[in-house]
């Protein structure tokens, strides 16, 4: 399964993590345990975790096209938040 990961640095990372979990839970299943979450999209999963002021994101999908779709959805939502509006995500592929 192809996967990609990225990290976002922000003073309010915990608040953004909470907001993303709540937002995604309106549409898809979200499993959360403290500072770790799994968001189950139809095309794959997004694993999110907090480490201090950094939020780590890993997207996992069945194929490359599904992975690109998943990354696009996650990035669009994450970048809507104030500190990340002008940010650019750099994804590491596996």
In a domain? residue 90:
no
pLDDT of residue 10: 81
User: Are 80 and 53 contacting, i.e. CB atoms less than 8 angstroms apart?
Assistant: no
Domain extent at residue 7: 3-84
In a domain? residue 67:
yes
CA dihedral 60, 66, 72, 78 (to 10 degrees): -30
Tokens linked to 34: 């403290």
Q: Which residue has the tokens 């309010």?
A: 12
pLDDT classification of 91: cutoffs 50, 70, 90: confident
- Give the Cβ contact number of residue 44 at 10 Å: 21
In a domain? residue 94:
no
Which CATH number belongs to the domain containing residue 35 in this structure? 3.30.310.50
pLDDT, tens digit, 9 for 90 and up, residues 13-35 = 898 899 999 999 999 999 999 99
**What total number of domains does the chain contain?**
1
pLDDT, tens digit, 9 for 90 and up, residues 38-89 = 999 999 999 999 999 899 999 999 999 999 999 999 988 888 765 656 666 7
In a domain? residue 91:
no
Grouping H, G, I as helix, E, B as strand and the rest as coil, residue 52 is coil
């Amino acid at each position: 399964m192809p996967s990609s990961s990225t990290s976002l640095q922000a003073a309010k990372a915990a608040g953004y993590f909470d907001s993303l979990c709540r937002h995604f839970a309106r549409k898809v299943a979200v499993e959360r345990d403290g500072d770790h979450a799994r968001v189950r999209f139809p095309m794959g999963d997004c694993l999110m975790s907090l480490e201090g002021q950094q939020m780590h994101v890993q997207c996992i999908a069945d194929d490359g096209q599904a992975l690109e779709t998943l990354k696009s959805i996650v990035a669009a939502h994450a970048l809507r938040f104030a500190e990340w509006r002008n940010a650019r995500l750099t994804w590491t592929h596996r």
